[in-house]
Each structure stands twice: as structure tokens, then as C-alpha cells.
Structure 1
Amino acid sequence: MAVPAAASVRDANRYRPPQVTGLVDLLDRQVRERPHARALVVTGERVQLSYRVLASLADEVAARLRGAGLGRGDAVGLICANTAEFVVALLGAARAGLVAAPLDPVLPEAQLSARLVALGARAVLVDASASGRDVRLPVPSWSLRVDVSGAGTAAVALEPGICDSVQVQGAARELSERDALVLFTAGTTDRAKMVPLTHANVAASVRTICATYELGPDDATVAVMPFFHGHGLFAALLSSLASGGCVLLPERGRFSAGTFWDDMRAVHATWFTAVPAIHEILLDRSEREYPGAQAPPLKFVRSCSAPLNTATQRALERTFGAPLLSAYGMTESSHQATSEPLPQRGALRQGSVGRPTGVAVRVVDRSGRACPAGVEGEVWVQGATVARGYLADGDESARTFVDGWLRTGDLGALDEDGYLSLTGRIKNLINRGGEKISPEHVEDILAGCPGVAEAAVFAVPDAVYGQRVGAAVVVREPDGVGREEILRYCRDHLAAFEVPDRLELVTALPYTAKGGLDRKAVQARYAP
């Protein structure tokens, strides 16, 4: 399919890689060279905060945290939405030599507490959205507020208490001032793993993302994905700030489809990144809400964190008039590991998540031997963005990090040109009488059926085959495509053993906080 050319093709000679060594100096170049340039656009009034103002706020927070008795390498939690408070707290903690651990603000009290205790956080910074909840946490909780004026000035309100000198507890014993972040993987409290990322990991990730998309001071985006996860944190926030661009933080710090295009126009956005579920929402609402010729011209649109079906990709490109670039990453690799290139830098390939970006990628068989081109195996990643392991989990670290390689648990294949295609997760495979079925593959086929909006495929226990294939399908119109039509489409496009034995039409599917399909919830709801 021909992809519309970007509205403005950047001259390669103008691209300047960011000069950063981590979170500590993320803003330094911009403060020196462009102090009055806009860094953030915040609040419902869309007030612009300059790089100089943002750096000043971060320095103020750093001074107050050091004054509270926190020392280099200490861990602090961040419970904030996508607000100015999050950005100031993150950069302030880094400038104080602390290790920041962002947490999902909507987690129940028990899960927040369990993660803070497991980490060994000395304190937690919360913004207004979190401090308004009646939540009692096991560590000192300090409310942080950034007061912004219409003129673009701002002040910090933070009055931390004094942290007494204590012996470091929990996983924080494994941290040092080389570390910048601790991110929690997706999962329940007892299964979420803690991933330590150094300043060097952060710098490598930011440089790679900026280079892949040639981000610079002329670029701007809207923060769609939450900052407590790598997708929003690295791809939208940190890469934009390191490259001198601008990030609009939606009102109340959360994505809103109703205001998205107004936000994009207000900041003159040149790109955005999101999970497929959000792309689907924007596409479904585009007939009513996409501003057409009044929309800002986009260089590209990015999709990551979950598989994007081909039909949606093509529809998005036609609607938004920009190439949609699929990327692949994980928390353990500081987000991005592969991406499709900008159209002027390489070919776009349907069904691919692109080529390696700043890392080495190989696909191996069960014995750890490299698979030939086109042969499916487990995807392994190695490079400067890869974490050293998990905190307080030596056994899982030994299984996942092998001789410098990250075993992703994803199935895929590399073609002769090094483009990676993903076929599913090893742990998600359905075993139907010895036939291994990828639910992601079946979901992609279902999503291509006319009238189907989205689908989730799961294993149904079976006394004869061990497992059978089940599917929950959301249709675009209540009186549209029916169950038998969907199954007929499946029979025409799938092997017989892959066709769902059980198919339910549902109104909505459950999603995780980071925007991916919640497979555990799907299994619990529809498999019994």
C-alpha cells in the first residue's frame, strides 16, 4: 500500500543526537541553547513551561529532597498522573541522586503498599490526583504541587519531613547512584517484577528513539500513554525533552479521546505514540472527531506495546495521512528494541515491527541456536538498553538474562533483511491436542473480519484435546456481523484446528493499565 508522504521531510543534516548521560542532564543542552523554548504544555488552559522553568523546578525539588535526609541511591516512589508534578518529581529525584520508582496511581492501596515495601522506598511523592485518595502508605507520603501561572511561571509546593537514617531495606539494597529508575512489569502484586534501569540504560534508550524518528526541537506530541510505564515514559516524555521538543500533558493527566485532536492542534503536534487499543478508539471516532484539513500535519504515528492488526494499520494511515510505524519493546530493554523506519529511511513492511534499533536481536530455537531467516523461535535482545536483571529475584534473573542476552518470551522470526515479525507469546500458546496455536495470530485474523472491532482469544479446558480455542469478539455495530459469519470468515482464513470452538459476542474487552489486552481477565471471564 502506498503511504502518504510526510508533510515535511527533515533534512538529515539538521538532526542532532541528544547529548545526555541519563536523567540528570536530560535538560542541560536545551537550558544552555534554548532556555525559553517550550518544554511542556500543561493544565486545561494549556500553559507553556519553558526548559529553564522546568529545570528550575526540578532543582528546587532536588534541594528539598536532599534536605529531607535522602541520600544518593535511595529509592523514592512516584504516584502521579501524567502531570507537571510527575515530570518535576522525576527530574528532581534524579538531580538529587535518587532512584525513582513510578507507580500506577489507580492501584489499590494493598498493591501500592506491597510494591513500596518490596522496593524499600524511603518516601513517596504524590500529586493532587493521588493525594486526594484516602490511602495509607507504609512510607512517608509527601504531596507535591506545581503552581502554574498563565504567564508560564511556576512554583513548587513540597514540604517533606525528615527521613531518619535507617538501614536500607528491601530491594533498594541492590541499588546505587548509577541507577535512575525502577519500573514494575505488568502483573499482579505477587508477580510484578522490579526492573532497575541505570542512567546509561536511559541515555541509550533516549538516543535510540530520537535517532529512529529523527526527533528534534521542531517536534511536539501529546502524552497519550501513562508515564509509569516505559512506553509513555521513554517514547513520549524523555525522548521529547532530550531532543528539545515539546510534550502536551492532557488536563487531569490522562488521555481523553474527546479532547485529543484539540490537544494535538494546540501543540502543533508532529507525531504521537499509543497502544493499538487507543488507535482503535481514535479510528472509531474519526468520522465525527478527526479535524481533517485542520489537523496538524503528522510526520508519523507510532504503535507499540501490543500487536496491531494490519487492517487497523491501513485504515489509520488512510485516515490520518501519515505512515504508521510499529515498534517493539519491553520494560527490561528500556522500552524500544525494534521499529519500522521513517519512510525516507527504509521500507515499511506489513506485519513487521521493524529492524533492531540500538540493540542486537536474534531468534533462537529451544536449544539456543540461531534460527534461519523466516523460521520461528524465541526473540532474544542484547545491548546498552538491556537491564542487568530483576531486583530481589535471582532465580528469575538467571532464567531471563543469559550471557548478556534478554530472553523476551516472545515468538517471532527475522527475515533476510533483519525485519522482525512477532507471532505470539510462548506462555500464551494454546495446546490443542499437540497443535500449538498462537492466540495473537487468531486475533489478527478475527480483527480483519468486516464488522469486527476487536477480539481476544483464549484457551478453553477440554477433556479430550487438553485445550480448545475460545474467542470473545466485539463487533462495531450491534446489528452488524453475526457469530456464524465470523466463524465462516475464520474457516476461510485459518487452519481447521485454529478456528475457535467457542465464540462469544461481547460489548467490551478488559485492558491493563498500560493499554494491553488483559489476558488473565479474559481467561477468568470467558474460559470457564
Structure 2
Amino acid sequence: MAVPATASVRDPDRYRPPAITGLTDLLDRQVRDRPHARALIVTGDRMELSYGALDHLADGMAARLAGTGLRRGDAVGLVCANTAEFVVALLGGARAGLVVAPVDPALPESQMSARLEALGVRAILLGPPAGGAAPPAVWARVPAWTLRVDVSRAGTATAALETGAGAVPHVQGAADELSGHDALVLFTAGTTDRAKMVPLTHANVAASVRGICATYELGPGDATVAAMPLFHGHGLFAALLSTLASGGCVLLPERGRFSAHTFWDDMRVAGATWFTAVPTIHEILLERSAKGFTGPRVPSLRFVRSCSAPLNTATQRALERTLGAPLLSAYGMTESAHQATSEPLPHHGPLKHGSVGRATGVDLRVLDQDGRPCPAGAEGEVWVQGPTVARGYLGNPAETAHSFADGWFRTGDLGSLDEDGYLFLTGRIKNLINRGGEKISPEHVEDILAGCPGVAEAAVFAVPDATYGQRVAAAVVLSGGEGTGAEEILRYCRGRLAPFEVPDRIRIVASLPHTAKGGLDRAAVDALYAH
């Protein structure tokens, strides 16, 4: 693909990723060389917070936490939307030697408490919830301390943490496995009984940030808008930490969450040169582009990034035409501190739409069912090894033994590598539909359905069948104003899928459920439609 006219080209031989060792020195270079440069743009008034001011707030937070009785290696929960409070709590906690565990503030009380209790946090840092909602109820066995950051129009800022006078209790939990080398505990996507706790060291964090910065050549001239939540790896590593480490600027949207209504104005205010999001957000932006994208009033984008779920190739190409910049698909997971592969910037190599690019700072292999390497183009399970990969799961030795072996992580994803080392994902092993012995990837069928005129989104799932064991079904969301029906969709599929892959049942629905990261919530889809 040719490089769009607005995509600037940098010299890859001169680029050097930031020399950091973890969260504690993430800001050091910028504070030393560019203390007055903007680091964050926050609140609905879009106040600018410099690197020097952010560093001062983080140091103050570290000192406040050090006086509470918490010890190096202790875990603290962080329940907060995408606000200045999240960033200050994260960096301050790290400087105090604590291990910070961000939690989705929108979780139901039962799920939030179950995660915090299983980890065994000794305190909880509370910031503003997303969208001005009521503060969440959290696990009551440990203190919950409210954090508030105020930023003036002059760029000065203060932070207050209400800790009270009580001592922090010691509680039993998986946090007993942590040490001072650990920086974060992230929860994998899933319900309470399936979410796993992933410990990431400062070395894991540093390797991830350096890899992301090197892939996209991020630097002080870059800026972005945080469209993704910061309690997951996508928003945390790709948007926030990599931007701050490389000297750029992050705009945190008003009310701490993505809004399609304000997104392009936020991009203009930030002078954004790139952004990263899940396909669901890209679809929303594309659908609204006729009236929401302001063209010349939006800064020239170097690139756009998509991760956390498969991106339909048609959407990818349509967005590139609309935005005038390459849209790069990436692949990552919590267990690899987010990014494992990415399509390269155009001057680094060819774009292969449909792939998720080449390895970035890790080693990849694709193995068959007998553990043997697959030849180029053959499908197998994707394994990842490298400095970003976690050591295992906390409090779950059985799952650790199953998923981690000799430094390699078994992703559970199916894919193939081509001759140039580009990875093409074909689905999840656990999602495969078994129709009379024929293994069907729902992700592949969804990709075909998404290309049907009039289809906005699709979810493919198995339904029980007395003869075949399972049959293929689909729930489909139609584009606004389209008159497409089930028969037209099936006719489209029959020309593009093997007969056994064509859905036996199409159900037209108003919307589909999504996880907090923006991916399709397959468990919820099954509960709603697989009966």
C-alpha cells in the first residue's frame, strides 16, 4: 500500500526508544530536559499539566503513601476513570514501591470486591468514576482513600489524598506472591470466576513501552487522545505510558471516557498525531465521519492503530481513505504487557491488511497439536516469548502450568505466519465450533458477515444440534437505514463460505454486548442467543 500523503516519514536509523527501567523513572528524561512541556490535557476545560507539574504530584503522592504504613511490594487497588487522578496514583504508587492493581470502576460491586479480595490489596485508591457516576462501592475490609487532583489555568496543580489515621490491615491473598520488582497487577478480561491476575514487573513494563515506542517512533512531537480505558493494557501501555515515556502529550477526555461527540475536537485541541482504539470505536468513527470528522481542522495523522479485537479489512481501508493515514493492526494480551505484534509504519515494511503484523520485541512461534512448528501458512496455536511476558498468574498454579512453559506463553489463539513473519490470526481455540467434526472459526465467519452490505456488526456462536453436535448461528446488527434481511445475508455468505460454515440461523438484533475493552462479549452473546 502506498504511504498516504499526510503520513510523515522519520529516519528509523536515528530513532532511539526511551531508556527507562519501569514506572519509577518513566518521566525522568522529560522532567530533566523538558519540564515545561505539556504531558497531560485534563478536565472538560482542557487544562494542561506539564511534565514538571506531573512529576511533582507523583512525588507528593509517593510521600503521602509512604506515611500510611504500606510496605514495598504491597498491592493497592486503583479504581478510577481516565483522569489525572489515575495517572498521579499510578506513578505515585510506583515511586512508593507499591504494586498498583487498576480495576474497572464500572464493575458490579460483587465482581470488584471479589477481584480485590482475591489479590489481597491493603488499600484502595479511589478517583472520579467515569461519566460523573456515583462512586463505586468497594471491598470494605481495607481502607478506601479518595484522591483529588486540581489543575489551574496557569498549569499549577495540587493533589489531596484522604487517608485518615487508621492503620492498614494485612490481608491474605495472592499479593503475598509479589515483590518490590513488581509494578502492576492487571486482570484479564472475563467474569469474576474467569478473570486471572497477571503480575507485571518494572522490567516487563519497560520492555513493553520501549517496544511500542520503537514500533511507531513515538517522540516529543507526538500527541494522542486516550480513547481506551486505562485499567486495561491497551489504553495503559499504548496510549498513556508510551506517550509519557517518549515525551508526547495525552489528552484525557472529559468525564474520563471516550465520546464520539467530542473526539475530533479533542484531537484538534491536543494536536494529535495518532490514536489507538478497538474496532468498535473505529466503526463508530467511520459511521459518523460524514458529520463528525472535520477534515482540514483536524491535525495530520501519522498513523492510526487498532488492537484488542479483529478489525474488518473493509473498515480498515475505508478509515484509511477517510483519515488519509495508514491504519495499523496490532496484537497483544495482558500476559505480554500488551503489544506482541504490529503492522509496521509504511517506511519500515509493507502493510498486509488482514494480518496483525510482525513481532515487536518478542519471539513468536506457531505450533501444531503435537507441539511441532507449523510451516509458513499453516494454522496452529500462537506462542509468545520475550522480556514483556509475565511469569505466570497469581494464585493460580494450575492455569500457570497450562499456559506458561519455559518462558513461553500459550496464547490460545489460532493463526499462521507467512514467509515474511507476518501473523494472521484465525480465531480462538476455545471459540471453535465443532459441526460434525468440522472445526469452524466464528471470527472468520464474522469477518465475512461484516463485509455484507447493510451489516454493521455480527456475532457468530454455536447452538446445540442432535445430529451434528453443534450448528452455526449468528446475531447481526444492521446499518442504519439499510433494508438487508436474513435471506440476503445468507445468500452473501453462501458465495464466500464453505457450506458447513454458513450460519443455519440468522437473528437480526439491535445491538451486541461488548466487554469493557470494547471487544465482543461472547459469554453474554451465548447467554442471550445460543438457545
Q: Describe the superposition over 1:308-351 as per-residue Cα deviations: whole angstroms up to 9, x where unpaired.
A: 01111111101111000000000000000000000011000021
Residue matched to 2:346: 343
Report the Cα distance in structure 2 between the residues aligned to 1:93 and 1:400, rounded to whole angstroms: 30
Matched residue type, 2:456: A
Residue matched to 1:518: 521
Report the Cα distance in structure 1 between the residues aligned to 2:513 and 2:398, rounded to whole angstroms: 31
Matched residue type, 2:139: L
Q: How does 1:169-184 map to 2 (within 5 A)?
A: 169-184=172-187
Residue matched to 2:295: 292
Residue matched to 1:86: 86
Report the Cα distance in structure 1 between the residues aligned to 2:502 and 2:136, rounded to whole angstroms: 48
Report the Cα distance in structure 1 between the residues aligned to 2:305 and 2:118, rounded to whole angstroms: 34
Deviation at 1:190, TM superposition (A): 1.3
Partner SS state of residue 193, structure 2? coil
Residue matched to 2:111: 111
Report the Cα distance in structure 1 between the residues aligned to 2:169 and 2:38, rounded to whole angstroms: 41
Report the Cα distance in structure 2 between the residues aligned to 1:372 and 1:168, rounded to whole angstroms: 50
Q: Describe the superposition over 1:153-209 as per-residue Cα deviations: whole angstroms up to 9, x where unpaired.
A: 100011213563654520010000100000000111111000000000000000000
Partner SS state of residue 158, structure 1? strand
Residue matched to 2:373: 370
- The alpha-carbon distance between structure 1 residues 482 and 65, as it changes in their structure 2 partners (threshold 3 A), is same
Deviation at 1:3, TM superposition (A): 4.6
Asked whether 1:305 is paired with 2:314, we answer no
Report the Cα distance in structure 2 between the residues aligned to 1:259 and 1:63, rounded to whole angstroms: 36
Matched residue type, 2:105: P
Residue matched to 1:238: 241
Matched residue type, 1:71: R
Q: How does 1:100-179 map to 2 (within 5 A)?
A: 100-129=100-129, 132-133=134-135, 135-138=137-140, 139-162=142-165, 164=167, 166-167=169-170, 169-179=172-182
Q: Describe the superposition over 1:239-284 as per-residue Cα deviations: whole angstroms up to 9, x where unpaired.
A: 0000000000000110000000000000000000000000000000
Q: 1:213 aligns with which of 203, 216, 221?
A: 216
Q: Describe the superposition over 1:413-457 as per-residue Cα deviations: whole angstroms up to 9, x where unpaired.
A: 000110000000000000000000000000000011111111110
Asked whether 1:326 is paired with 2:329, we answer yes
- The alpha-carbon distance between structure 1 residues 98 and 134, as it changes in their structure 2 partners (threshold 3 A), is closer
Q: 2:492 aligns with which of 489, 493, 497?
A: 489
Q: What's the % identity of the aligned pairs?
A: 76
Q: Contact 1:58 / 1:92 at 8 angstroms: preserved in 2?
A: yes
Partner SS state of residue 392, structure 2? coil
Deviation at 1:62, TM superposition (A): 0.5
Report the Cα distance in structure 1 between the residues aligned to 2:202 and 2:171, rounded to whole angstroms: 21
Report the Cα distance in structure 1 between the residues aligned to 2:307 and 2:136, rounded to whole angstroms: 34
Q: Contact 1:182 / 1:197 at 8 angstroms: preserved in 2?
A: yes
Deviation at 1:525, TM superposition (A): 0.6
Deviation at 1:481, TM superposition (A): 1.6
Q: Describe the superposition over 1:374-411 as per-residue Cα deviations: whole angstroms up to 9, x where unpaired.
A: 00000000000000000000000000001111000000
Partner SS state of residue 363, structure 1? strand
Report the Cα distance in structure 1 between the residues aligned to 2:525 and 2:383, rounded to whole angstroms: 28
Report the Cα distance in structure 2 between the residues aligned to 1:336 and 1:163, rounded to whole angstroms: 40
Report the Cα distance in structure 2 between the residues aligned to 1:356 and 1:13, rounded to whole angstroms: 19
Partner SS state of residue 389, structure 1? coil
Partner SS state of residue 518, structure 2? coil
Q: Contact 2:355 / 2:425 at 8 angstroms: preserved in 1?
A: yes
Asked whether 1:399 is paired with 2:379, we answer no
Matched residue type, 1:403: D
Partner SS state of residue 78, structure 1? strand
- The alpha-carbon distance between structure 1 residues 372 and 249, as it changes in their structure 2 partners (threshold 3 A), is same
Report the Cα distance in structure 2 between the residues aligned to 1:308 and 1:135, rounded to whole angstroms: 35
Deviation at 1:15, TM superposition (A): 2.4
Report the Cα distance in structure 2 between the residues aligned to 1:136 and 1:406, rounded to whole angstroms: 32
Matched residue type, 2:225: V
Residue matched to 1:42: 42
Report the Cα distance in structure 2 between the residues aligned to 1:216 and 1:463, rounded to whole angstroms: 58
Matched residue type, 1:423: T
Report the Cα distance in structure 2 between the residues aligned to 1:58 and 1:294, rounded to whole angstroms: 35
Q: How does 1:428-507 map to 2 (within 5 A)?
A: 428-507=431-510
Deviation at 1:19, TM superposition (A): 1.1
Q: Which moved more, 1:366-375 or 1:128-137?
A: 128-137
Alpha-carbon RMSD across the aligned residues, in angstroms, is 1.2
Matched residue type, 1:99: V
Asked whether 1:200 is paired with 2:222, we answer no
Q: Contact 1:24 / 1:91 at 8 angstroms: preserved in 2?
A: yes
Report the Cα distance in structure 2 between the residues aligned to 1:501 and 1:69, rounded to whole angstroms: 61
Q: 1:185 aligns with which of 183, 188, 196?
A: 188
Residue matched to 2:24: 24
Residue matched to 1:10: 10
Report the Cα distance in structure 1 between the residues aligned to 2:206 and 2:391, rounded to whole angstroms: 15
Deviation at 1:136, TM superposition (A): 4.6
Report the Cα distance in structure 1 between the residues aligned to 2:13 and 2:358, rounded to whole angstroms: 23
Report the Cα distance in structure 2 between the residues aligned to 1:369 and 1:176, rounded to whole angstroms: 36
* TM superposition score normalised by structure 2: 0.98
Q: 1:278 aligns with which of 273, 278, 281?
A: 281
Report the Cα distance in structure 1 between the residues aligned to 2:486 and 2:134, rounded to whole angstroms: 45
Report the Cα distance in structure 1 between the residues aligned to 2:526 and 2:431, rounded to whole angstroms: 11
Report the Cα distance in structure 2 between the residues aligned to 1:351 and 1:280, rounded to whole angstroms: 16
Moved over 4 A (4+): 165-168
Matched residue type, 1:22: G
Report the Cα distance in structure 2 between the residues aligned to 1:383 and 1:93, rounded to whole angstroms: 26
Q: Contact 2:7 / 2:303 at 8 angstroms: preserved in 1?
A: no
* TM superposition score normalised by structure 1: 0.98
Q: 1:508 aligns with which of 502, 507, 511?
A: 511
Matched residue type, 1:48: E
Residue matched to 2:384: 381
Q: Contact 2:112 / 2:138 at 8 angstroms: preserved in 1?
A: no
Matched residue type, 2:230: F
Q: Contact 1:423 / 1:438 at 8 angstroms: preserved in 2?
A: yes
Q: Contact 2:384 / 2:408 at 8 angstroms: preserved in 1?
A: yes
Q: Contact 2:123 / 2:168 at 8 angstroms: preserved in 1?
A: no
Report the Cα distance in structure 2 between the residues aligned to 1:239 and 1:479, rounded to whole angstroms: 41
Residue matched to 2:70: 70
Report the Cα distance in structure 1 between the residues aligned to 2:136 and 2:468, rounded to whole angstroms: 49
Deviation at 1:152, TM superposition (A): 0.9
Partner SS state of residue 366, structure 2? strand
Q: What are structure 2's unaligned runs of at least 5 residues? A: none
Q: How does 1:218-229 map to 2 (within 5 A)?
A: 218-229=221-232
